[in-house]
Amino acid sequence: MRNTMSLNTLSHKTLIRISGTVWLLIGSFLLNLGINLLMRGVEKSEMTQAIFLLTVALIVGHYKGRYVLAKVAERSFHRICALPNPTSLKNLYTRGNYVLIALMMALGMCMRAFDVPPIIRGCIDCAVGAALIQGSIRYYRLSSLSKESSKE
């Protein structure tokens, strides 16, 4: 049966890992961008301020990822597991997810277009990046749970 499946048909576990990897990659990109913006936005004499702001952004991002995005990952996990297995790659995200992604991208473009100070942009990007990385961890943990349940 595997030979008759199309290339875009994947198992639940694979879809969950893909989604977690997307979150990890985007989170890493945003965290790196945020740190660079923070460093660019401060003078050398204000390095303590930058470190403090980075620490606050990382803590906020950690908790947002752990308590908000973890719930999003769990809902996505349960939605994917309710689909036929294997299922199409098109089922990775819902329309609502794509709307949210578009809005987040628009927010980033607006911050750049309206010349939001690099320190503020850096804090936001660091917090969002850290949250996405924390959320990706939840996807990977759920993926391993899916693996265990498939052995039964």
Percent of the chain with pLDDT strictly greater than 90 = 35
Q: Is the pLDDT reported for residue 25 higher than 90?
A: yes
Q: Is the pLDDT reported for residue 151 higher than 60?
A: no
136-151 average pLDDT score: 71
Q: Is residue 3 part of a domain?
A: no
Total domain count for the chain?
Answer: 1
Burial of residue 135 (number of CB atoms within 10 Å: 0-12, 13-18, 19+): buried
What does the block give as tokens for 116? 């939001």
Looking at residue 86, its pLDDT comes to 83
Q: Is the pLDDT reported for residue 150 higher than 60?
A: no
Specify the 3-state DSSP secondary structure of 45: helix
Q: Is residue 103 part of a domain?
A: yes
Lowest mean pLDDT among 1-10, 27-36, 42-51, 83-92: 1-10
The residue type found at 46 is: E
Looking at residue 5, its pLDDT comes to 52
Q: Is residue 1 part of a domain?
A: no
Lowest mean pLDDT among 53-67, 80-94, 116-130: 80-94
Q: Is residue 91 part of a domain?
A: yes
Looking at residue 7, its pLDDT comes to 64
Q: Is residue 4 part of a domain?
A: no
What pLDDT, in 10s, does the model give residues 66-120? 999 888 889 989 998 888 888 888 888 888 888 988 988 898 899 889 988 888 8
Q: Is residue 2 part of a domain?
A: no
Q: State which residues form the domain around 55.
A: 10-151
Rounded to whole angstroms, the Cα distance separating 28 from 1 reads 38
Across the chain, mean pLDDT equals 85
Please report, to the nearest 10 degrees, the dihedral formed by the alpha carbons of residues 14, 89, 76, 30 taken in order: 90
